[in-house]
Amino acid sequence: MLVLVINSGSSSLKYQLRELADDGTDAPVPVLAQGLVERIGVPGSGVPDHAAALEQVEAELAEATGGRTIDAAGHRVVHGGERFTAPARVTNEVIRAIERLAPLAPLHNPAAAQGLRAMAERWPDMPQVVVFDTSFHQTMPREAWQYALPDEVYTEHGIRRYGFHGTSHDLVTGLAAEHLGIPRGEFRAVVLHLGNGASATAIRDGVSVDTSMGYTPLAGLVMGTRSGDLDPSVVTHLMRNHGYDAEELDTLMNRRSGLLGLAGEADMRQVLENAASGDGRARNALDVASYRLAKYVGGYHVAVGGAQAIVFTAGIGENSAPFRARVLDRLEALGVAYDAEANRARVAGPHTISAPESAIPVLVVPTDEEQAIARLTWELAR
Q: What is the pLDDT of residues 84-132, one digit of tens each?
A: 999 999 999 999 999 999 888 877 888 899 889 988 998 999 999 999 9
Q: 44 pLDDT band (50/70/90 cuts)?
A: confident
Q: Is 254 annotated as a binding residue?
A: no
Q: Is the dihedral of CA 132, 104, 143, 287 positive or negative?
A: positive
Q: What is the pLDDT of residues 317-329, one digit of tens each?
A: 999 999 999 999 9
3-state DSSP assignment of residue 33: strand
Question: What pLDDT does 39 receive?
Answer: 85
Contacts of residue 243, defined as CB under 8 A and 6 or more positions apart, other chains included, come to: none
> Where is pLDDT greater, at 374 or 28?
374
Q: Is 104 annotated as a binding residue?
A: no
Q: Is the pLDDT of residue 57 over 90?
A: no
Domain final residue, candidates 132, 151, 166: 132
Q: Are residues 98 and 28 in the same domain?
A: yes
The H or E element containing residue 23 is none
Instruction: Determine, yes or no, domain membership for 167.
Output: no
Instruction: Determine, yes or no, domain membership for 174.
Output: no
Domain final residue, candidates 111, 132, 153: 132
Q: Could you count the other beta carbons within 10 Å of the beta carbon of residue 67?
A: 6
133 in catalytic set: yes
Q: Are residues 213 and 313 in the same domain?
A: yes
Q: Are residues 226 and 312 in the same domain?
A: yes
Q: Are residues 12 and 76 in the same domain?
A: yes
Q: Is 186 annotated as a binding residue?
A: no
Q: Are residues 318 and 232 in the same domain?
A: yes
Question: What pLDDT does 334 receive?
Answer: 98
Number of compact structural domains in the chain: 2
Cα 108-111-114 angle, rounded to 5 deg: 150
Instruction: Determine, yes or no, domain membership for 121.
Output: yes
What is the signed CA dihedral for 306, 312, 313, 317, rounded to 10 degrees? 150
Instruction: Determine, yes or no, domain membership for 155.
Output: no
C-alpha neighbours within 13 Å on the C-beta side of residue 313: 30
Instruction: Determine, yes or no, domain membership for 289.
Output: yes
Parallel, antiparallel or unpaired: strands 2-8 and 72-77: parallel
Q: Is 7 annotated as a binding residue?
A: yes
Q: How far apart are the C-alpha atoms of 37 and 49, rounded to whole Å?
A: 11
Instruction: Determine, yes or no, domain membership for 213.
Output: yes
What number of helices (H) and strands (E) belong to the chain? 15, 12
Q: Are residues 119 and 190 in the same domain?
A: no
Instruction: Determine, yes or no, domain membership for 372.
Output: no
Whether the CB-CB separation of 372 and 133 falls below 8 Å is answered with no
Q: Is 329 annotated as a binding residue?
A: no
Q: Are residues 220 and 105 in the same domain?
A: no
Q: What is the pLDDT of residues 231-263, one digit of tens each?
A: 999 999 999 999 999 999 999 999 999 999 999
> Where is pLDDT greater, at 146 or 11?
146
Q: How far apart are the C-alpha atoms of 232 and 37, rounded to whole Å?
A: 37
Give, rounded to a whole angstrom, the gap between the first and last alpha carbons of the chain.
8
Q: Is the dihedral of CA 61, 62, 63, 65 positive or negative?
A: positive
Q: How far apart are the C-alpha atoms of 62 and 78, rounded to whole Å?
A: 29
**Catalytic, out of 133, 170, 210, 368:** 133
Domain containing 25 equals: 2-132
Q: Is 318 annotated as a binding residue?
A: yes
Instruction: Determine, yes or no, domain membership for 354.
Output: yes
Q: Are residues 191 and 118 in the same domain?
A: no
Q: Break the chain down into helix, strand, coil percent, rounded to 5.
A: 45, 20, 35
Q: What is the pLDDT of residues 65-77, one digit of tens each?
A: 888 999 999 999 9
Q: Are residues 345 and 204 in the same domain?
A: yes
Q: Are residues 122 and 266 in the same domain?
A: no
User: For residues 304-337, b (16+ Cβ closer than 10 Å) or e, as one string?
Assistant: beebbbbbbbbbbbbbbbebbbbbbebbeebebb
Q: Is the pLDDT of residue 27 over 80?
A: no
Q: Is 109 annotated as a binding residue?
A: no
Q: What is the CATH number of the domain that holds 345?
A: 3.30.420.40
Q: Is the dihedral of CA 350, 324, 197, 136 positive or negative?
A: positive
Q: Is 81 annotated as a binding residue?
A: no
Domain final residue, candidates 99, 132, 165: 132
Contacts of residue 123, defined as CB under 8 A and 6 or more positions apart, other chains included, come to: 70, 73
Q: Is the pLDDT of residue 29 over 80?
A: no
Which amino acid, one-letter code, is at 123? W
Q: How far apart are the C-alpha atoms of 48 and 51, rounded to whole Å?
A: 8
Q: Are residues 44 and 119 in the same domain?
A: yes
Q: Are residues 210 and 331 in the same domain?
A: yes
Question: Smallest Cα–Cα separation from 166: which of 195, 199, 123?
Answer: 199
Facing residues of 3 across strands? 18, 72
Contacts of residue 310, defined as CB under 8 A and 6 or more positions apart, other chains included, come to: 189, 190, 192, 297, 331, 336, 360, 361, 362, 363
